[in-house]
Structure 1
Amino acid sequence: MSSVVRISPSRATRAVNLLRTIQFTHPPNCPCHSNPAHHHHGPSTIHQAKRALATPIDHSQQKEYAFEMAASSIRFGPGCTKEVGMDLKNMGAKKVMVVTDGNVRKLGAMQRAIQALESEGVQYDIFDGVRVEPKDSSIKQAIEYAKPYGADAFLAVGGGSVIDTAKLMNLYTTFPEADFLDFVNAPLGRGLPIQGKLKPLIAVPTTAGTGSETTGTAIFDLVSKRAKTGIAHRNLKPTLGIVDPLNTRTMPSAVHAASGLDVLCHSLESWTAIPFHERVPRPTNPINRPAYQGANPISDIFSLNALRDTVKYLPRAVKDPEDHEAQAKMLLAATLAGVGFGNAGVHLCHGMSYPISGQNPGYKHKGYEVEGPIIPHGVSVAVSAPAVFRFTAASNPERHLQAAECFGVDVSNVKRESAGEVLSEALAEFLIKLGDQPRGLRDLGFGEEHLDALVEGTIPQARVLMLAPNLEMGDLQAEREQLRGLFEESLRY
């Protein structure tokens, strides 16, 4: 005679919760799978489960278990800028704030965008005061310009500085009562999530570098802290990116090179970032899941393809201003890398680059027509790359060897422990052959006397450093020593 055991709903719920607790706090699920010598579920297993049920979960130590895919809609094609007026009209825009800088305002990209607005009868105002490599003061100036106009949509025409400035004009006119530091990345700001949708923003990139047309990230210098930081949230990303190869044909060779180096590092850093399931803490609410989540199966596809195309086409785009195929391929690579790093994140090259550009001793990069000293973002990122990827390789030699293959290295007989050295050498050779690039921090005017300040400027970049393999973030002294070693190695490559 068989008997049926009935479980009350409350017991069933407790049983399910018990299973979940074991699954998420003690993976693998079954001790048999994690311990070959363990062949039974004895009293100790039950006691452990009971203790797990009784102990409150420490969310700060729980690893992530999911990743999200977020990117702007993208339209790619030569001449598609002419559609932007129709796009804004289709969105119901009545008053558009056009954002650009003084140089781009004179170029064909801006002329085509304005013609598109006027042909559809869309009302607009132009702000052309964007600063290249913006500071918080220039961002605030742009926000104050935008507030009285009351735009119901934004159109950014320019490089990453323009698009990032437009994002923040959109954010702070949508939330005019917010304090500027409310949304700025912690610990330099309060790092609050953006709780609601912003106004439509269409981004028209004129450089092939930042990928800002697809990301929810905006970067600027926080002058009082002598640090580069920014705001990152999915709600910040543009509604649409108009990626038109005609718009990058006016880029000077130096800008092609520096912008392309940003693409290079976006690709490499997102490809080698810690896996998403290794990141802590797991968010208690999905709105708190960061834009930069760690390497994941979707971002990997974009990052690796962008890396291959950058290695292949960037030298051509820099060498020949008439090589329109290479320029178009680099523009698409920038967007692909934007999708990759916009979801996986970047790590050490970018974290270290922020104090490099923020603490510039007086270097002005050749080919940049701006007032005063400037270390272009791509240059500040790439200068540490040979040292960085030598350092991170031990975490995942296979990925670093795959990256080295993109540079044409035959890795079939390379030992795993040599992955960092091989990728580092391939990177250094690529940078040298590109031409007119600093061979290390010394060429930018830095010396040993600057290293401690560079380290202290990197420490607050927790948002990206937490994705860096091998970095001892739990031990501040060890982290300082590791960063100092990386800066020291980067003095000359």
Structure 2
Amino acid sequence: MSSPSDSPACDRVFTIDPVALKYGHGALSELGFEAIALGLRRIFLVTDRRLRSLPPVQTALASLQAAGCDVVIHEITQLEPTDDSFKTAAAAAKEANPDGYVSIGGGSVIDTAKAANLYATHPTGDFLDYVNPPIGGGKAIPGPLKPHLACPTTAGTGSETTAVAIFDLVGARVKTGISSKLLRPTKAIVDPTATYSAPAGVVACTGFDVLTHALESYTARPFTSRLRPDSPALRPPYQGANPWSDGGALRAIVLGGQYLERAVHDPADTEARDWLCFAATLAGLAFGNAGVHLPHAMSYSVAGLKHDHHAPGYQDEKAMIPHGLSVVINAPAVFRFTAVSDPMRHLRAAQALGADVEFDEDALDDAGEYLAQRLEEMMRATGIPNGLSALGYDHGDIPALVEGCWQQQRLLTLSPVEVSRADLAELYGAALHYWDDTPPAATAPAPAPRKKEKGKKRR
């Protein structure tokens, strides 16, 4: 039997619809020019109440006002948006009746602006109509949205380049989202200096979101393994790994491996923060095209089921599990599992991340270990908790975690290895705890990859 990628029923086409991008120091000061170029006079600006008085928002407001724009400001009051916060923003946007939208903040802010734009422009009787199935109806957005200029202040989510808006569906205790090419911002305005004020804990969580975006898009199932759609209009935003997405993903992995730890440990290291910001942009463009898979699919129930963790850098927030943390906490377990799909690709990713790799038969056999252990090393060095157990989960929570994850079929289908509920239970179990909690000696060398037992079947 031929492999799926050899089947004439499989797709042979991928599309590239990247968001227009302005990047560099001082880009925010040109926001007024960009708004006027799009014909925006009345603007609905979404930001975070913590950012309202900080330089990024002040710079953006000054630029918009100097250009003669009328700005209506909507401040979100909590990180990790919910269905209620999306509804609140949409109602405010509908009342404001703007020409377009500006978002200044992290992924929560940018996703809120996307949702406000959608529901104010194309109201629907049931909020869940546009939400991804099986949780929502998956209704197609009926037409274009208003222009949206997205200005990130964290090096992480890549939401300024993507076609999704993620939120916590509180009643169901699960994260889900809306996915459509029409949600992509009109232009991303990325100014690395806007990320300089982020605390170390926030840099760690958002930085690992960058790395998992890149690693997942690089290891996702190939676009040629997906069935050809009945119509080009039905080709999904997340298309699978392809030659275009591979380039940005691999470069983002290299930059993350080089600069994430530096950016966390030294707030004055602006070179590290600049490069991490560029890595976030590259990873956003890559995964916005190829998609993400198991670590993100697993993350939604991790973040949605329990809300009693206080992450460093988020102390003024209600207890929660930040998105990047909820993703990377699953990643070592996942990449040990998926390496069998393409050992060379996983080994290249490990090398790009900074693992000391020799490309021989033994190394290919242990590609998942190389990648997982390098991730664990970086997690430990940046204060990421030691597995799900450190977030309050135990074996008794695994069935609920699995069921929450199983609803993320849009992401599960991108896994390079087909997964069952039993597989997910094993993965959550493996993610409960990763390393010995005894502090390592300061001069101790990195451990060699753990070898598989002879004769033991690898998945």
Q: Evaluate the alpha carbon distance shift between residue 454 and residue 26 of structure 1 in structure 2; reply closer, same or farther with a 3 A threshold.
A: closer
Shift in Å, 1:172: 0.9
Is 1:488 the counterpart of 2:434? The answer is no
Structure 1 residues not aligned, in runs of 5+: 1-22, 30-61, 473-478
Measure, in 1, the Cα distance between the counterparts of 2:398 and 2:247. Answer: 36
CA distance in 1, matches of 2:268, 2:415: 38
Q: 1:180 aligns with which of 127, 131, 142?
A: 127
Residues 43 and 99 in structure 2, CA contact (< 8 A), matched pair in contact too: yes
Q: State how many pairs are aligned.
A: 431
SS in 1 for 2:104: strand
Corresponding residue for 2:219?
272
Supply the AA of the counterpart residue of 1:375.
I
Q: Give TM-score, length-normalised by structure 1.
A: 0.85
Q: How does 1:448-467 map to 2 (within 5 A)?
A: 448-467=395-414
Q: 1:216 aligns with which of 158, 163, 174?
A: 163
In structure 1, the residue matched to 2:300 is: 354
Aligned residue number for residue 78 of structure 2: 131
Among all aligned residue pairs of Structure 1 and Structure 2, give the percentage whose two residues are the same amino acid: 46
Residue 440 of structure 1 is aligned with which of 378, 387, 393?
387
The residue type equivalent to 2:425 in the other structure is: R
Deviation string for 1:1-54 (max 9, x for gaps)?
xxxxxxxxxxxxxxxxxxxxxx9x99578xxxxxxxxxxxxxxxxxxxxxxxxx
Q: In the TM superposition, what whole-angstrom CA distance separates every residue of 1:267-298 from its partner, at most 9, and x where no partner exists?
A: 00000000001023x22222221111100010
Q: Deviations over 1:171-204 (max 9, x none)?
A: 1111023532121111111112223211000011
What's the counterpart of residue 202 of structure 2? 255
RMSD over equivalenced CA pairs, Å: 1.7
Q: Which residue number corresponds to residue 364 of structure 2?
A: 416
Question: Mean Cα displacement is larger for which, 71-80 or 159-168?
Answer: 71-80
**Other-structure match for 1:234:** 181
For residue 313 of structure 2, give the secondary structure of its aligned residue in structure 1. Answer: coil
SS in 1 for 2:248: helix
SS in 1 for 2:239: coil
Change in CA separation of 1:136 and 1:326 when aligned onto 2, cut-off 3 Å: same
Structure 2 counterparts to residues 321-340 of structure 1, below 5 A? 321-340=267-286
| Equivalent of residue 374 in structure 1, options 288, 309, 320 | 320
Check 1:426–1:459 CA distance in 2 against 1; reply closer, same or farther (3 A cut). same
CA drift at 1:213: 0.7
CA offsets 1:282-335 (integer angstroms, 9 cap, x no match):
222222211111000100001000010011011111011111111111111001
- Is the Cα contact below 8 Å between 2:5 and 2:224 reproduced in 1? no
Q: CA deviation at 1:485?
A: 0.1
- 1:320 aligns with 266
Higher radius of gyration, 1 or 2? 1
Farther off after superposition, 226-235 or 456-465: 226-235
**Shift in Å, 1:471:** 2.2
**Residue type of the partner of 1:420?**
G
Q: Which string of whole-angstrom CA distances, capped at 9 and with x for unpartnered residues, describes residues 80-137 of structure 1?
A: 1011111111111121001001101121000001000110111110001253111111
1:424 partner letter: A
Match of 2:237 in 1: 291
Say if 1:375 and 1:343 are closer, same or farther in 2 by CA, change over 3 A: same
Q: State the distance in 1 between where 2:214 and 2:363 align.
A: 23
> How far apart, in 1, do the equivalents of 2:23 and 2:77 lie?
25
Residue 208 of structure 1 aligns to which amino acid in structure 2? A
Query: What is the distance in 1 between the residues matched to 2:220 and 2:373?
Result: 20
After the TM superposition, which parts of structure 1 deviate over 3 Å for at least 4 consecutive aligned residues?
Answer: 25-29
Query: In structure 2, do the counterparts of structure 1 residues 26 and 231 end up closer, same or farther at CA, with 3 Å as the change threshold?
Result: closer
Q: Is the 8 A contact 1:130 1:161 kept in 2?
A: no
Q: CA separation of 1:325/1:415 partners in 2, compared to 1, >3 Å: closer, same or farther?
A: closer
Which one-letter code corresponds to 2:46 in the other structure? V
Partner of 1:258, secondary structure, is helix
SS at match of 2:356: coil
> What is the DSSP-based 3-state SS (H/G/I as helix, E as strand, rest coil) of the residue aligned with 1:97?
strand
Change (3 A) 1:79 1:133: same
Matched, 1:425 2:373: yes
Correspondences of 1:84-233 after superposition (within 5 Å): 84-177=31-124, 179-233=126-180
| 2:317 alignment partner AA | E
Change in CA separation of 1:28 and 1:390 when aligned onto 2, cut-off 3 Å: closer
Secondary structure of the corresponding residue to residue 161 of structure 1: helix
- Cα shift at 1:423: 1.5
Alpha-carbon distance change, 67 to 365 in structure 1, aligned in 2, over 3 angstroms: same
Whether the 8 Å contact between 1:99 and 1:130 is mirrored in structure 2 is: no
CA deviation after TM superposition for structure 1 residue 65, in Å: 2.3
Shift in alpha-carbon separation, 1:168–1:197, aligned structure 2, 3 A: same
**More displaced stretch, 414-423 vs 194-203:** 414-423
Counterpart contact for 2:105–2:152, Cα < 8 Å:
yes
